[in-house]
Amino acid sequence: VAIKGENKVIVTLVNIERDGSNQMQGGGYHRGDLPVHVNLYVLFSAYFNDYIESLKFISGVIGFFQANPTFTYMGNTVKVEMHNIDFRELGNLWTAVGAKCLPSVLYRIRTLNMDEDNIRDQIPPVAGITM
């Protein structure tokens, strides 16, 4: 990744994943298109001449999301939480990005893409079989 100039915080989308943790409650099934829950993994990196300045700006990013963990976008709540990765994963991430390791923090942003018009019916779970 070519970065022109210094003294900035760089925001990089590193992964998009489907979140399957929000299944229909009660064990029922949907007929039609399901709402899609998506997690975005976003890396905030500080690229400054002075390392101490880099740390200050990363602290500012952390402070901002600590004070503002949720946002509303197009009627949906967006949740932002810090995502921990180990040193090996961090090294692999910087190799994939193609840059030197910078002071950084990774966040998971959970959004909800939902089209309620596509959900036609809710079918309750089977409660039992009688003969």
Report if residue 3 sits inside a domain. no
Count: domains in the chain: 1
CB 43 within 8 A of CB 101: no
Burial of 34 (0-12, 13-18, 19+ CB in 10 A): middle
* Euclidean distance between CA atoms 56 and 47, whole angstroms: 11
Ranges assigned E (strand) in 48-128:
70-73, 76-82, 104-113, 119-123
| Tens-level pLDDT at each residue, the chain (131 residues) | 556 778 899 999 999 998 776 555 556 665 656 667 789 999 999 999 999 999 999 999 999 999 999 998 777 788 999 999 999 999 899 888 888 889 999 999 987 664 554 445 566 666 666 54
Residue ranges making up the domain that contains 33: 8-123
Q: What is the pLDDT of residue 119?
A: 47
Report if residue 61 sits inside a domain. yes
Q: What is the pLDDT of residue 125?
A: 67
Count the neighbouring beta carbons within 10 Å of the beta carbon of residue 69: 12
Count the neighbouring beta carbons within 10 Å of the beta carbon of residue 91: 12
Report if residue 19 sits inside a domain. yes
Residue in 54, 33, 58 with CA at minimum distance from that of residue 113: 33
Q: What is the pLDDT of residue 128?
A: 63
Decide: pTM greater than 0.85: no
Report if residue 96 sits inside a domain. yes
Report if residue 97 sits inside a domain. yes
Report if residue 67 sits inside a domain. yes
Report if residue 114 sits inside a domain. yes
